[in-house]
Each structure stands twice: as C-alpha cells, then as structure tokens.
Amino acid sequence: MRRTLPSLSVALLSTVLLAACGGGGGEDTANLTPQQGGTLVYATGDDEPACLDPQTRGNVPQALLGSQFLESLFYQDEKGEIQPWLASAWKVSEDGKAWTVDVRQDVKFSDGTPLNAEAVKVNIDRVLNPDTQSTTGRLALSKVDKVEVTGEYTAVIHLLQPDGALLESLSQVWLPIESPTALKRSNEENCLSPVGTGPFKIESWTKQDNVTLARNDSYSTPPPGASHTGPAYLDKIVWRFVPDGTTRFAALQSGQVNVVDVLEPQNAVAAKNIPTLGTLIASRPGEPVEIKLNTGRAPFDDAKVREAFFSAVDVAGALKSVYLGTVEQAKSPLSSATRYRADTVKQAYDPDAANQLLDEAGWTAKDADGIRSKDGKALTVVLPYAATIPLEPGFYEQVQATAKKVGFDVKLQPLETAKWWVANNDWEYDALPIYYTKNSADVLRITSLSSANTATTVGGYHSGNTALKSPELDALLEKAGESTDDTERADLYKQAQELLSNGYYVLPVYDQQTRLGYETKVKGLRLLPSLSMPTFYDAWIND
Amino acid sequence: MGRIVARVLGAVFVLWAVVTLAFFGAYAIPGDPAEAVVGGAGSRSTPEQLAQISAQYGFDRPLWVQYLDTLGDLLHGDLGTSYSLKTPVATLIGQTVGGTLVLAAASLAVAWAVAIIVALGSTRDSRLGTALGSLLEVTSVAVPHFWLGSVLILLFSVGLGWLPPISTPGPSGLVLPVLSLALPLAGFLGQVMRESFIAALDAPFTLSARARGETETRVRLVHALRHAALPAISLSGWAFGSLISGAVVVETLFSRPGLGRTLLAGVLAGDIPVIVGVVLVIAAVYVLVTFATEAADRIADPRLKAAARPTEAAAW
C-alpha cells in the first residue's frame, strides 16, 4: 500500500530541495536530564492494523504498535540470548518436553488484573484456539500441547516434541501476555483495546487516522536494557497512519510529527544533511528480503541454471543505485539480526561464469535479442512481485537488465497483493521475492522443510517457496529445532544454511529493516532487539 | 408526476447495477475471501483456519447464492460487516463519509470560484489575456492530483511551513487537499465556461444590454455569466463524482480519513462488503447530486421549466 502511489519526479524534487538545505549532521551526545511529560507523534508508513491485538493474525504493523503496550514472558537481548521479563525463572525437563515457567509476583496489567500463572495459560490457550485467528503466533507454538497451572505463579508448558525455539517464540510481541479480564470480552472488542502490562495503554483509536496511547502510571516491568525504572516519561503517543512516504517525511521536516517509520531511501540520505533530524535503521531477524527460486519446474530445476542466475544478476549494483547506499547486501538465508546466522552465500556479479554455466547446461541457442533457449524453449524466468515485499520496482528492473545480458528473459509481473498471493500459492513463478520475520533460526523450519512445500489450503498457502525436498535438510532442521544446546544448534543451523546456499535455492537481497527518522530533540529512542521494534518507554522530548 | 416516478425507478436500476458490478468485480479479484478475514500482508494462515472461516462465512456456497444473500441484506438496509475490520460497514461509512463530502463540496466550491474568476477575468478583448487564461486552464487540467498534492506539500509545508502536510481536522488541514482536487477541476470548468461565455458576449441580448447603457461588469456578471454557467452546472454532477474518485488519491496522500481511503483499503484487503457498501454509497451520492444539478439547471435556465424534455429521463 505504501508504494501504490509512486512518483519519481516528486521523489527527485524533494531530494534536490533537501540537498539544497545543506547543513551538517551530528548526533547529540550531551548528558541531559530526561524531561517528564509531553506528547510524541509517530507517523507509520506500515498498514493500519485491522486488529490491535497481535494474538489475532500477527503482522508487523501490529508488532510495531503492540510493542508500546504489550509485553512477553521473555526478552531476547542483542546477542539473541533469553532474559527474564514477565517470567522470573524457567527450566526444561530432561526430555525437553516440559518447560516450567515462574512469572513475577508483583505485576498488574494496566486494568488492575494481577499477573499469575493462570494468565499465562489463558493466553497460550487463546492463541492455540482457532477462533482467535492467530497466524504467526499459532505457527510459532505449533509444538505446544497444553499449559498446566501448578502454582499461583508457576505454569508448565507441555510440548508434543522438544522445541529449542520456544523461549524465542515467547519473546515475540506476537505472543504477548494480555489481561485475562480483558480477554473475557469478545475478540472484536479485544481487537479495539487489548490490555497488557506495557508502559503505555490504548486510550482511543480513530480509524484511518490515529491510535492514541496514554502512559501506564502503574508500570513496573521495564525490560532488560531499559535506562530507567518506573513509568514512562511521555504522557501520550499519537500513532498516526500516513501511507505516503513523501507526506511522512514532509511532516517530520515541518515538525508536525516527531518520528516516522518506513523511511524511504532518498529521505534517509536527505535526513543525514538536516541537523535537526536523525535516523535509526536496524535489521529485523528472520529471513531477509530474498528471491526464492522454484526448483519444481524448468529452468530452475537445474542447479547449474540456478548458479548461473546467481552470477547473472548484479545484486550489489542494483542495491547501490536503488537504495543509495543505505542498505547492505545480505549474505545468508538468515538476516544479520538472527542468532546462528552464518555468512554462507557467495554471490557476485560474474557474467562470464554465468555464460559458461548456461553453455554447460545446454542453453546454447540464442535469439536476436540474445535470449537463450534449449530444445526450443526460451530461458524465461517469471518473477511476480507486490508492494508488500519491501523491494523497489527499480531493483527488479536492474535484475532483469543484468540477467538479460547473459541470456535470461526475466518476466517481471507487478501484482496487487491478493494476486501475488495467488501466484505464490499456485507456484506460478520461477523466482519469488519474499521475507519472513521471526526472531529465531527456527524460521528455516517453517519455510524450508520438505513438508512446507506441500501444505495445501483453501487458498493453497504453503510456507515453502523453493519446492526443495531434501531429507538431509529436514533432518538438520528438525534436530536443530529440538535441541536446546547452544553449540549444537549453532552447528546444525550452520550446516542447514550451507546446504541452502550451496544448492543456490535462495538469493538473499538485504535484511528487512526497521527504518526510523526522528527529530533529534526526541531522546531515548530504542529498539527492542527481539524483532527490532521501537520502544518509547525511555523516550522523552527535549524542548 | 410520471417523470418523477421514471427518475426514481431509473435511480433504483442504477444502484442495483452498481451493486452487481461491484459484487462480481470484487470477486473477480483473485484471492480467497477467507484470507481477507484473517489476512492482511504478513499474516500467514493454516489450512484448517481458512477452511473453518470459509464455512463460518459461507464462502463455500455458490457465488449466486452469496450474491442474492448480499442483495437481500441490502434491501433490508443491511450493508453487512467488514471481513477484515469486523465492524459493520454502515459504521465504517458513517465515520468517513462526512470527511469526503466536506472535501468534495469544498473542492467543488473552490473550483467554481477559481473557474469564474479566471474565465471572467481573462476573457477580454485582449488576446494575450485570453491566451494566458486558456493556458492556465489547460495546464491545470493536465496535472495529476497526486503530483499537484506533493508539490503543494513541498511548497507550503516543507518550504514555507504554513500548512500541515498531514491533514488535520481544522480548516488549515483542508486547504492543501482541497487545492489538489479543485485546481484541475477549475481548469476543466473554466474551459467549458469560457467557450459559452465568449458565445454569450457575442449574442444579441448582450448587444442590447450594452445598448441600454449597462456597465461591462453588469453585462458580464448578470447576463453573460448566467449563460456561460449553464454547461458547467450540468457538468457539476459528473464533477462531484470525479472529485470523490479523486479523493482516493488525495485522502491517501494527506492521510485524511474518508470514503476514498476506506474503499482503497477494502480493495487491497479483498474486503467485499466494504467494496460493495462504499461503491453503493458513492453511487447514491452521485444520483442525488445529479438530481440536484438538474434542479439547479432549471433555476438558472427558465426555458427548461416550460419545455420538459422526456428524452432526458435516462440521460444518466
């Protein structure tokens, strides 16, 4: 949606105007005393959630907003390690199938309901209940059997099979602990004003305009890494929905808003030259924005052709020209913010190598345009894309142009989101741009198991996109998913990433990012490391 | 009396046709409506979830049954409930229709004012003036709302800091969206008006008015303008419709709540009740405005009162 109204001329015009403003950058490093009060206005370019409760569905817009008023049992730090948050202690049974979790005894939800083990059970049961319509959260808890309350503040999570990623899953904002009192309401009502333990609470939601959050004065659960205790500094946050990137950045420049997200590349460059503005750009964990190759049909059923495609496209060059040096090429099937990530992908633009590989693979005939063919079939690559995937049309065009030089005919198909999903579900593609946000290497199990390719639904959704069926990879991922041993997991995931990279199944492009622009008078802005979502708990405005 | 009945029947037919087109058009968008219920970009559903939703919402029934169902609900005044927002469509429309009507009405008023000033002011004996006026009109017609809006934001929000780029509830928040919609329309109305204005200035009644010694201003404002405005008034019904469709772009750009954004969100989410409901309301507004412009035509042109023209009955 945010890219449905592109206007190159305006983008260029704004860049020129901004460049003309000039000025030097420079971060404020002074040690200032935080000021109490004030209202922060945040303009998001992500979609307006249809439901504010991330237990229902489970997408990035919900996670962005939910991080302000909801909290999880666990906190995942910058190193990917698990720390206590609403949980105070935990231990796993010998067989890895029972996790005993103690929750803090002094915590109240913002509606006054006390936190206890029963609340944990109510929340997990609710996510698993199909009526809740949880997607991301439910997939993450697919190994959970049931929750047993064994004491006022102690719950045991029983699993169907060991799950090394359980605590990581439970540190995502898609699996928050919400007030059981509030959850007694209908799903529709809960969607309007979910209640958590976070530093803010929902005050009102004016559709298509804003969600207003007010400080939770009884707040007592700052996450590890926070720089103060007690309630937040800000009185209120006005969370505005501003789909157009030019408008968002204009609003930031003119002081109408204090912080924007989905900061567009040219605006990120422009912000560097405006002393009153700063940028905060960070990778999100999971699978990066990547192009998955469909091995289920020609031409990518041939490993040589896949390898040739890797060498035929100038990913680095396209990124540089489209993103103006604001993003780096990804080198792994896992984003750089994901624990156990290994740099296993070696991709470099090498047309000579690509030509040689295609010759070897038998794609030797060429037509007048230089497009190769074999047995009368042209070397065509169907690539459907949609605005949902954060890649600019200019990027695809450059992929198309460089691949053409060695004889690939890349057919770009710009589609609406719904149509793109159909192409995806029906395997009507050779190369598919996609990403998956999850704070665990276990994301590979969701996207790359053999079974991920065969799932059929009413709409035909399958979480796998390469059609790869490798018993070897399945074994690695299942074993890694069940392991709770750090060294073993690291090793198994490294092998899995190597297997994926050596087979040329997935071409990583760049890490999916949180891209914030902010007025430098906003201090204490921080990202929660689990999913790189911003938190305004420590934030204050230096007037 | 018979004329009015024919009009009302015609209006009902139009609304039915619009609902039918919107319904089947919405279903022609590929995708599973069940995905719209859980869906949205970034949400991923399991097979059981989708099957359960299909059964719950009746998506597994034949399309014509679902169509008749929708039609029956509409006849009872029930616009249904949004798949993605789980809110009654009537509530959604109620929350946003005001903003769009204010935007469209203000834009129409401003477009008229600008068109009259430019057309009247520049249609002089001076060729240069006329040429300049025409040039302005042609240029503004050719400018897309989105581009014009972006330029206005860069100029008045970033450059001069006078007006907010994100539309606010007060009058200052309305200025840029209204200008983005009104200026292209003003150019269009101005072009239409200028032609008949020139014809009116050459007409015998103008000559006799001048012969009576009336001032040039009075000749222009009282006699010629009335004639010049006629085609533009007739076109205002159409113009209002075009303003509402332009609102989709302008409301998105200025992040202003409204019917256009509701419709866009509905289309993107594959939310069929929202698409059908909003399209129906827009069609109803359009029908009402057409009635109103016809009435205005009659007031501005007394000749129409004398001779009712039955051929016009199905004109829209």
Q: Both tokens of residue B295?
A: 């009435």
The last residue of a domain, from among B84, B109, B143? B84
Q: pTM of the entire structure?
A: 0.82
Q: Give yes or no for a contact between A374 and A407, defined as CB atoms under 8 angstroms apart.
A: no
CA B35 to chain A, closest CA, distance in angstroms equals 8
Question: In a mutagenesis test of the B interface, which of A287, A458, A461, A533 is the best target, namely the one with the most B β-carbons within 10 Å?
Answer: A458
Beta-carbon contacts of residue B90 (< 8 Å; ≥ 6 apart): B78, B79, B277
| CA–CA separation, A274 and A319 (whole Å) | 24
Contacts with A139 from chain B: Cβ below 8 Å: 44, 46
A129 backbone φψ class: left, alpha, beta (φ>0; ψ -120 to 50): beta
For the stretch B42-99, pLDDT in tens is 456 666 667 777 777 878 788 888 888 888 888 888 888 888 777 888 888 888 888 8
> Which of B50, B159, B257 shows the shortest C-beta gap to A457?
B50
User: Do B12 and B100 have their domain in common?
Assistant: no
User: Do B9 and B43 have their domain in common?
Assistant: yes
Q: Is the pLDDT higher at B104 or at B241?
A: B104
Percent of chain B scoring above 90 in pLDDT: 3
| CA–CA separation, A507 and A402 (whole Å) | 15
Beta-carbon contacts of residue B165 (< 8 Å; ≥ 6 apart): A247, A250, A251, A254, A256, B153, B157, B158, B176, B254
Q: Does A284 score more than 80 pLDDT?
A: yes
* Domain limits for position B171: 90-302
Q: Does A240 touch chain B (CB under 8 A)?
A: yes
CA A410 to chain B, closest CA, distance in angstroms equals 23
The region of weakest confidence among A229-233, A298-302, A326-330, B217-221 is B217-221
User: Do B108 and B75 have their domain in common?
Assistant: no
| Sign of the alpha-carbon torsion through B161, B167, B172, B176 | positive
Contacts with A61 from chain B: Cβ below 8 Å: 42
Q: What is the pLDDT of residue B161?
A: 82
- Does residue B313 sit within a domain? no
| CA–CA separation, A58 and B39 (whole Å) | 9
Q: What is the pLDDT of residue B61?
A: 81
Contact A47 B262 (CB under 8 A): no
Residue A275 confidence class, pLDDT cut points 50, 70, 90: very high
Q: Minimal Cα distance from B84: which residue of A?
A: A50
Q: Is the pLDDT higher at B239 or at A146?
A: A146
**CB atoms inside a 10 Å sphere around CB A82:** 18
- Does residue B205 sit within a domain? yes
Q: Does B139 score more than 60 pLDDT?
A: yes
Contact B258 A242 (CB under 8 A): no
The mean pLDDT value for B256-278 works out to 85
Q: Does A135 touch chain B (CB under 8 A)?
A: yes
When mean pLDDT is compared over A56-65, A117-126, B124-133, the highest value belongs to A117-126
The region of weakest confidence among A2-11, A100-109, B13-22 is A2-11
The region of weakest confidence among B23-37, B84-98, B177-191 is B23-37
The mean pLDDT value for B93-106 works out to 89
Helical residues (DSSP H) of A338-412, grouped into ranges: 351-360, 393-405
**CB atoms inside a 10 Å sphere around CB A139:** 17
Contact B40 A130 (CB under 8 A): no
- Report strand pairing: A513-519 vs A506-510: unpaired
CA A239 to chain B, closest CA, distance in angstroms equals 12
Contact A455 B47 (CB under 8 A): yes
CA A296 to chain B, closest CA, distance in angstroms equals 22
CA B182 to chain A, closest CA, distance in angstroms equals 19
Residue A258 confidence class, pLDDT cut points 50, 70, 90: very high
Contact A455 B39 (CB under 8 A): no
Q: Does A425 score more than 70 pLDDT?
A: yes
CATH number at residue B213: 1.10.3720.10
Q: Give yes or no for a contact between A391 and A433, defined as CB atoms under 8 angstroms apart.
A: yes
Contact A388 B253 (CB under 8 A): no
> Which of A17, A43, A417 shows the shortest C-beta gap to B154?
A17
Q: Does B310 score more than 60 pLDDT?
A: no
DSSP A508: E
Q: What is the pLDDT of residue A516?
A: 95
Q: Does A204 touch chain B (CB under 8 A)?
A: no
Contact B253 A5 (CB under 8 A): yes
CA B260 to chain A, closest CA, distance in angstroms equals 11
Question: In a mutagenesis test of the A interface, which of B27, B37, B38, B162 is the best target, namely the one with the most A β-carbons within 10 Å?
Answer: B38
Q: Both tokens of residue A278?
A: 């700063």
CA A100 to chain B, closest CA, distance in angstroms equals 28
The region of weakest confidence among B29-33, B177-181, B229-233 is B29-33
Contacts with B29 from chain A: Cβ below 8 Å: 416, 418-419
When mean pLDDT is compared over A9-13, A223-227, B88-92, B290-294, the highest value belongs to A223-227
Q: Give yes or no for a contact between A502 and A276, defined as CB atoms under 8 angstroms apart.
A: no
The mean pLDDT value for B258-266 works out to 86
CA A422 to chain B, closest CA, distance in angstroms equals 6
Q: Both tokens of residue A116?
A: 């206890």
User: Do B176 and B282 have their domain in common?
Assistant: yes
Beta-carbon contacts of residue B39 (< 8 Å; ≥ 6 apart): A57, B45, B84, B269, B270
Q: Give yes or no for a contact between A466 and A295, defined as CB atoms under 8 angstroms apart.
A: yes
Q: Minimal Cα distance from A437: which residue of B?
A: B42
CA A310 to chain B, closest CA, distance in angstroms equals 27
| Average predicted confidence (pLDDT) for chain B | 79
- Does residue B307 sit within a domain? no
Q: Minimal Cα distance from B87: which residue of A?
A: A188
Contact B157 A256 (CB under 8 A): yes
Q: Give yes or no for a contact between A132 and A126, defined as CB atoms under 8 angstroms apart.
A: yes
Q: Give yes or no for a contact between B52 and B100, defined as CB atoms under 8 angstroms apart.
A: no
- Cross-strand bridge partners of residue A99: A92, A157
Beta-carbon contacts of residue A8 (< 8 Å; ≥ 6 apart): none
Burial B141-178 (b: 16+ CB within 10 A, else e): beeebbbbbbbbbbebbbeeeebbbbbbeeeebbbbbb
User: Do B103 and B229 have their domain in common?
Assistant: yes
Q: Comparing C-alpha atoms, which of A52, A339, A51, A54 is closest to residue A175? A: A54
3-state secondary structure of B251: helix
Q: Both tokens of residue A414?
A: 């710009």
| CA–CA separation, A166 and A160 (whole Å) | 12
Q: What is the pLDDT of residue B46?
A: 64
The last residue of a domain, from among B67, B84, B101? B84
Contact B150 A456 (CB under 8 A): no
User: Do B18 and B145 have their domain in common?
Assistant: no
User: Do B66 and B191 have their domain in common?
Assistant: no
- Does residue B142 sit within a domain? yes
Q: What is the pLDDT of residue A382?
A: 96
For the stretch A435-452, pLDDT in tens is 988 888 999 998 898 888
Interface of A with B in 270-329 (CB under 8 A): none
Q: Does A16 score more than 60 pLDDT?
A: no
User: Do B153 and B219 have their domain in common?
Assistant: yes
User: Do B172 and B195 have their domain in common?
Assistant: yes
CA B255 to chain A, closest CA, distance in angstroms equals 5
Q: What is the pLDDT of residue B199?
A: 77
| CA–CA separation, B162 and B156 (whole Å) | 6
Contact A254 B84 (CB under 8 A): no
Beta-carbon contacts of residue A319 (< 8 Å; ≥ 6 apart): A327, A328, A329, A395, A509, A510
Residue B307 confidence class, pLDDT cut points 50, 70, 90: low
Q: Does A271 score more than 70 pLDDT?
A: yes
Contact B31 A57 (CB under 8 A): no
Distances (CA, A) of B261 to A47, A99, A217, A510, B246: 12, 47, 35, 31, 11
The region of weakest confidence among A14-28, A275-289, A299-313 is A14-28
Q: Does A87 score more than 80 pLDDT?
A: yes
> Which of B44, B86, B249 shows the shortest C-beta gap to A139?
B44
Question: In a mutagenesis test of the B interface, which of A2, A5, A210 is the best target, namely the one with the most B β-carbons within 10 Å?
Answer: A5
| Average predicted confidence (pLDDT) for chain A | 89
Query: How many domains does chain B fold into?
Result: 2
| CA–CA separation, A62 and A50 (whole Å) | 9
Q: What is the pLDDT of residue A97?
A: 93
Contact B86 A243 (CB under 8 A): no
What element of type H or E holds A282?
strand A277-283
CA A446 to chain B, closest CA, distance in angstroms equals 11
Q: Does A19 score more than 80 pLDDT?
A: no
User: Do B191 and B265 have their domain in common?
Assistant: yes
> Which of B31, B38, B265 shows the shortest C-beta gap to A421?
B31
Q: Comparing C-alpha atoms, which of B179, B140, B177 is closest to residue B252? A: B177
Q: What is the pLDDT of residue A193?
A: 95
3-state helix, strand, coil in chain B (%, to 5): 80, 0, 20
Interface of A with B in 15-54 (CB under 8 A): 17, 43, 47-51
Contacts with A1 from chain B: Cβ below 8 Å: 264-265, 268
Sheet holding A200-206, edge to edge: A200-206, A210-215, A236-241, A39-44, A259-260, A513-519, A277-283
> Which of B39, B86, B252 shows the shortest C-beta gap to A191?
B86
Q: What is the pLDDT of residue A372?
A: 95
For the stretch B189-244, pLDDT in tens is 888 877 777 777 777 777 777 778 777 777 777 777 777 777 777 787 788 878 88
- Does residue B112 sit within a domain? yes
Contacts with B264 from chain A: Cβ below 8 Å: 1, 4
- Does residue B315 sit within a domain? no
Interface of A with B in 49-78 (CB under 8 A): 49-51, 57-61
User: Do B80 and B129 have their domain in common?
Assistant: no
Residue A11 confidence class, pLDDT cut points 50, 70, 90: very low
The region of weakest confidence among A198-212, A344-358, B173-187, B263-277 is B263-277
The last residue of a domain, from among B62, B84, B106? B84
The region of weakest confidence among A133-137, A417-421, B250-254 is A417-421
Q: Minimal Cα distance from A174: which residue of B?
A: B43
Burial A35-60 (b: 16+ CB within 10 A, else e): eeebebbbbbbbbbbbbbbbbbbbbb
User: Do B124 and B69 have their domain in common?
Assistant: no
For the stretch A460-492, pLDDT in tens is 677 889 988 999 999 999 999 888 888 999 999
